[in-house]
A and B are shown apart, each in its own frame.
Chain A
């Protein structure tokens, strides 16, 4: 559907189409990661990427605002585009033992919501989603991660790009040997 046709739609229908488009993009992205097509996936990340997974701690009810570390503090992932490119390059070396032989993963991305439009051009959205990622490794190793993501998606030349991804795991102490996959 072209821009002119979209403009003629009632606002709610227009919003639904955008929600659909964003959800489809996240599903496609998840399929690329499950399919280990990291070089293609890297192309979805914008040049000013902020990819961050803070550390969580168990706090009392009155200190829930302190559960997660802040930017600049301890983090599991604290990457920009070049750091992420290095991660992808690492996986392609043939010596990346934690992923060679590769993990078998299945990403379930759900509860996709557009949380807001950011001002200015190009079109930029705050998008929230939940995930469950299952990993099977070697014979019997299994991992399960659950959490929430806050993304900034940007439409550049008709293509969605991920400019920011903040990942909030539900774990405090991770049960997995490592985090050698992407979220």
Chain B
């Protein structure tokens, strides 16, 4: 629902079309300017972050009426609040009077959100319910129903994950996610998940797309970026994967082998890469591996997903999901050269407290700013971004051509979406940028739905 008196800033169509041309999907080349240009970033905020379904929070973070979390959609502060009626509401965190955030804490429980400047008060659905001096100063002429906090146009959940879109014309969340739901269930199908308290937040001097393109399909970087963690004996965040230290590590095992997994790409820019496990590297007796011996879960997962050790995925534009260490990570842009990470760990509510503790500890040690793996990502993505900002280097495109033309999309089979049967490639990354270019130029969601690309042939 658009609020009365809402006005959207126009997008410069010529600039957007020129930006889209900077992705050369045929040659697998991407112009470095898309990672640093201020104008392109402004277009992204409108065409991507103000239109796509964005992850907001996990339902378990706001179980009771009045519970809220304060989050960001792109750069936009938003409140996600469970109303008195139990319904999940999301609305802008910006007073209609002078624009102040009406909520300045990260989470809590509230009956109303009261602006600290002049006292306008809004209820748990964002409705304006109190205006000091309404009779005397406003002569009862203020139509409170027209001055509520603007709602996020669409709010819906998928298996506990709350998403929102600012665009009333967006397709349903189910249509937006499409086959990516099959991918998300690699994690969400393992059990009945709740969010572990504590969102790790930290900022990296990088463009948000470098984080997303790493999430969606960079199985190439592990052997170099994370070499030191692997050599030190840290294998993964699953809590039940067993690797040796020294030379006898996953560097030598199947983990990074080209054909040891699969790649999924789906319409609207989502995708994942998943590796198969090798029997020697798994402790099936661990309580954290319980789902791997549960006949019902295995039946639902099907053969392909049951063999998966772990998948890294990205829900376009900025939600990274890791099915191994069971994390959700939002990457919120703060300008073309700055991104804030929000990491939430999920845990199966049916596990014993000891097993939950095991998993949380494994996740805490694996990802996050101090994570054995992730500390080196921050260094690398900030270097990528810096490398795109210098004038002469900017003349030379980046190479996204690994495996170009060799990624044959296999047709869907019973219960399995179309997949590419390789692990280490750049198909998903290039796919993401092809979709990114479409978001920039498409004027409306109906146009995007009509023109969107489907994975087929050889990518």
Contact = CB atoms under 8 A, between A and B. Distances in A.
Nearest to B246: A89
A149 to B, nearest CB: 15
A77 B364 contact: yes
B199 interface: yes
Interface string B365-377: 1001110101111
Contacts of A176: 202-203, 369, 378
B350 to A, nearest CB: 17
B201 A179 contact: no
A173 interface: yes
A163 B55 CA distance: 40
A78 B372 CA distance: 12
B360 A86 contact: no
Interface stretch (A65-73, A111-119, A152-160): A65-73
Interface residue range, chain B: 35 or more
A72 B197 CA distance: 9
Contact of A59 (B106, B205, B231, B343): B106
Interface in A46-66: 53-55, 57-60, 63
Contact of B365 (A69, A72, A79): A79
Contacts of A78: 360-361, 364-365
Given A74-B197, A74-B200, A96 B228 contact: yes
A74 B106 contact: no
A58 B104 contact: yes
A42 interface: no
A25 B108 CA distance: 41
Interface in B324-380: 340, 343-345, 353, 356-357, 360-361, 364-365, 368-370, 372, 374-380
Contacts of B228: 90-91, 93-97
A179 B200 CA distance: 12
Interface residues of A, number: 39
Given A69-B197, A78-B365, A83-B365, A90 B232 contact: yes
Interface of chain B, main secondary structure: mixed
Given A90-B234, A95-B227, A173-B202, A74 B360 contact: yes
B232 A60 contact: no
Given A74-B199, A97-B225, A180 B370 contact: yes
A60 B233 contact: no
A147 B42 CA distance: 36
Nearest to A53: B370
A66 B370 CA distance: 22
A173 B201 contact: yes
B229 interface: yes
A172 B107 CA distance: 13
A78 B363 CA distance: 9
B198 A55 contact: yes
Nearest to B227: A95
B369 A179 contact: yes
A76 B368 contact: yes
A87 interface: yes
10 contacts: A54-B198, A55-B201, A86-B233, A90-B234, A98-B376, A98-B378, A173-B201, A173-B340, A175-B203, A176-B202
Nearest first, the 3 closest Cβ-Cβ pairs linking A and B are A74-B198, A177-B378, A69-B198
